[in-house]
Structure 1
Amino acid sequence: MLIASYNPKQTGDILVVILGEDAKEQKVEYKDSVVRISDENSDRVTGFNFLSASESLPRLKDVDGKVDLTQDDLNSLNEVLKNNGLLDTLELDEDPKFVVGYVKSVKEHPKSDHLKITETEIDNGKALQIVSGSPNMQENIKVVVAKVGAMMPDGLIIWPGELKGEESIGMICSGRELLIKNAPNRPGALILPNDYQEVGEAFDFAKSETLFTK
């Protein structure tokens, strides 16, 4: 997992890199221009804050929000880690986090009158249990799935979780949550046309601009 964001108006010239969920007991180490965040008990690294980030990555001056890091970016950041005495290495994550999914089955949530438990197929035929509150949820539809490790347009990060005691791995998205142009401002999963894209493919955000027309 590799999630990066840069919000200079809110946090200054700091690149935040997230590698995993926060640990219950965190260890925070300050190494000159890098802050290393890890699990106090296992030393599992959960993230870094790169200070004065635009000095290492000048292209950040044109960014505000989520950053899709390239291998060249990581080479620069790994050099920063090395120069700050850290042995950690960042690796490129090319796994798409927003994919076309197929809802194979839907059943009622035993502890909720509005939640549904879905079995939703994603890439490579893998099926996930995803709990959804979408009022239009049904079987045999194509949807957009935000997988674990996805950062939503509003900054929300998708982690594994539970909804009222039922496991939910990922999220089935609405058009408005994805900030798709002209998407209706109401709850409900974005149901894709059957011939839109193949199940498991990375969701084409550029193509989605034609999904809703006024």
Structure 2
Amino acid sequence: MIFAYNKEHVGDVLFVIAADDKGQENHVERKGNIARVSADGQVVAWNIFEASTILGTIDGSGQVELTDEQLAKLNQELTAAGFSETLAVDHEPKIVVGFVKSCKKHPDSDHLSITQTEVDNGEVLQIVCGASNIKAGQKVVVAKPGAMMPDGLMIWPGVLRGVESFGMICSASELRLPDAPAKKGILELPFDAVVGEKFTVGK
């Protein structure tokens, strides 16, 4: 579940993205300051208006993290408005250091590669990557499913040319790092970078 907030440009609205709507038509049901967004019978998002009056100060801009106390207040507000759902917070970081354990050419593409990339404590994700400089043995930055990139792109599991992919291996420009090189390609980290450690992106 992705929580996003940008008071300066959007107003005092907390966006809660629960699932990929896959371009389907959305249905919105609003009760008071809460709107539930559904697509094909599945709840895909919530819009929480006047969010700071419910939750207090919301730290950050873009993807934000709610405290357990704020989550409890939010769930109380959902119940009071008449919704039956409850929301949960996953405190695990979504943009982390990864290690490319293996890398092979995609069977149906001349530029894609299929990697098995460790992201924490033996957790390995299959990630399809289009960068020409990707190879086994690298330490890289991985945006796991549930991540929001600095440009607002949300990362969901997907299928690329018939192969499942569970995340994105990132370039410096995608992470909006200062002085990111113009040359395309994924960001390669020093080998002493710690797999699973949160990676701080730019804005």
Give the TM-score normalised by structure 1: 0.84
Q: d(CA) in 1 for partners of 2:197 and 2:66?
A: 17
Kept in 1: contact 2:97–2:193 (CA 8 A): no
1:150 matched residue in structure 2:
147
Residue 59 of structure 1 aligns to a residue whose secondary structure is coil
1:68 matched residue in structure 2:
65
1:189 matched residue in structure 2:
186
Q: d(CA) in 2 for partners of 1:109 and 1:183?
A: 28
Q: d(CA) in 1 for partners of 2:14 and 2:198?
A: 26
Identify if the C-alpha distance between structure 1 residues 138 and 40 changes in structure 2 by more than 3 Å, giving closer, same or farther. Answer: closer
Kept in 1: contact 2:28–2:36 (CA 8 A): yes
Identity rate of aligned residues, in percent?
49
Aligned Cα RMSD in Å? 2.2
1:36 matched residue in structure 2:
36
Amino acid across the alignment from 2:2: I
Residue 72 of structure 2 aligns to a residue whose secondary structure is helix
Amino acid across the alignment from 2:189: L
Does residue 111 (structure 1) correspond to residue 108 (structure 2)? The answer is yes
What's the CA shift for 1:9?
4.6
Kept in 2: contact 1:144–1:203 (CA 8 A): no
2:197 counterpart (177, 197, 202): 202
The CA deviation string for residues 121-143 of structure 1, in whole angstroms up to 9 with x for no partner, is 22231222211111211111111
After TM superposition, the structure 1 = structure 2 runs for residues 1-214 of structure 1, keeping only pairs within 5 Å, are 2-22=1-21, 24=24, 26-41=26-41, 44-60=42-58, 63-197=60-194, 199=195, 201-205=196-200
Identify if the C-alpha distance between structure 1 residues 126 and 65 changes in structure 2 by more than 3 Å, giving closer, same or farther. Answer: closer
Kept in 1: contact 2:141–2:199 (CA 8 A): no
What's the CA shift for 1:46?
2.3
Residue 100 of structure 2 aligns to a residue whose secondary structure is strand
Aligned residues: 201
Q: d(CA) in 2 for partners of 1:40 and 1:117?
A: 31
Q: d(CA) in 2 for partners of 1:90 and 1:169?
A: 23
Identify if the C-alpha distance between structure 1 residues 29 and 91 changes in structure 2 by more than 3 Å, giving closer, same or farther. Answer: same
1:212 matched residue in structure 2:
none
